[in-house]
Structure 1
Amino acid sequence: MDAVDTHILNILRDNARISNAELARTVGMAPSAVLERVRKLERKGVIERYEARINPKEVGLSLTAFTFVHVEEGVGTLDTGQKLAALPEVLEAHYTAGSASYLLKLRVSDTEGLAQLLQRIGRIEGVRDTNSTIVLRTLKETSAPAVVETP
């Protein structure tokens, strides 16, 4: 990856719907050269997919919570984590080092929705207990990291 690839990735991170012609104008290259670079980044797995960002509040999911999940399973066993990750309200599921085995990012309608979800989580075999933090205000949220050129 070079500076042009980095520039292309950062443009696509901010607007994945940009046309190839506009992308080429922005980076100062021929459209065919930019298209080949994007395809190469896709083949190499640098670009995994393109997706629409949905405003959670507009679809009735105004409460965000982060939940630590303590489980009773062997170290490195991810069976419970796979069950947690399959829940539709779970946006992120991370296997962690520390006091809890998993950290989940959840989106639900309200505190009642969170209570119901935590009950469902508690019924999953292997879950010992949970500890949740409710988000009051989000200052930054993105799923795509900024890309910087490496020397």
Structure 2
Amino acid sequence: MDEIDRRLLALLQKDGRRASADLAKVIGLSVSATNERVRKLLDSGAVRAIEAIVEPASVGFGVTAFVFVDLDYAFSEEKFVLAASSFKEVLELHHVTGSHSYMLKVRERTNADLNGFIVSSLKRLQGVRSTETLIALETVKETMVLPL
């Protein structure tokens, strides 16, 4: 990955819908060369996807929670990861250091929905010993943009 790729990544992070001609003009390459670089960034996995970022509250998802999960390691950690990853409510799943095993970022419409998900789905997974939930009162900053 060279400096041109880094500049291209920075531009795509700010606006993934930016026209190829505009990207090419800014980075100083032809449109075809720019498109080829974007394709290579996608194929290599450097760019996971180019997609719309939906404002959760505008579509009714008013609750953001971080759920810490403690596992009983007598059970399969891989099965937990596979099952937890499959829940549509789970936006992020992180293996963490400290006193907990995993941290999940969960979005739900209401606190009742969040409670239902935790009680009926998450806590029923084999190996889940306990959970601790923190509800975000306000999201001040949320980004996927890396400081390239």
TM-score (norm 1): 0.89
Aligned to 2:96: 96
Q: Cα distance, 1:9 vs. partner? A: 0.3
Q: Specify the SS of the correspondent of 1:100.
A: coil
8 A Cα contact 2:69 2:132, kept in partner: yes
The alpha-carbon distance between structure 1 residues 124 and 77, as it changes in their structure 2 partners (threshold 3 A), is: closer
Deviates most, 54-63 or 42-51: 42-51
8 A Cα contact 1:81 1:102, kept in partner: no
The alpha-carbon distance between structure 1 residues 63 and 89, as it changes in their structure 2 partners (threshold 3 A), is: same
Q: Cα distance, 1:74 vs. partner? A: 4.5
2: distance between equivalents of 1:42 and 1:124?
Answer: 34
1: distance between equivalents of 2:75 and 2:6?
Answer: 37
The alpha-carbon distance between structure 1 residues 118 and 107, as it changes in their structure 2 partners (threshold 3 A), is: same
Aligned to 2:107: 107
8 A Cα contact 1:81 1:95, kept in partner: no
Q: Specify the SS of the correspondent of 1:78.
A: helix
2: distance between equivalents of 1:97 and 1:41?
Answer: 31
Establish whether residue 11 from structure 1 lines up as the match of residue 11 from structure 2.
Answer: yes
8 A Cα contact 1:42 1:48, kept in partner: yes
The alpha-carbon distance between structure 1 residues 69 and 118, as it changes in their structure 2 partners (threshold 3 A), is: same
1: distance between equivalents of 2:74 and 2:144?
Answer: 30
Q: Specify the SS of the correspondent of 1:66.
A: strand
Structure 1 unaligned blocks of 5 or more: none
How far does the alpha carbon of each residue in 1:68-95 deviate from its partner, in whole angstroms, 9 at most, with x for none? 0011125983211221121111000112
- Counterpart AA for 2:28: G
Q: What is the Cα-based RMSD across aligned positions, in Å?
A: 1.7
Aligned to 1:127: 128
Matches within 5 A, 1:55-66: 55-66=55-66
Q: Cα distance, 1:109 vs. partner? A: 1.1
2: distance between equivalents of 1:75 and 1:83?
Answer: 13
Aligned to 2:44: 44
Q: Specify the SS of the correspondent of 2:50.
A: coil
Q: Specify the SS of the correspondent of 2:77.
A: coil
Q: Percent identity?
A: 36
2: distance between equivalents of 1:65 and 1:34?
Answer: 39
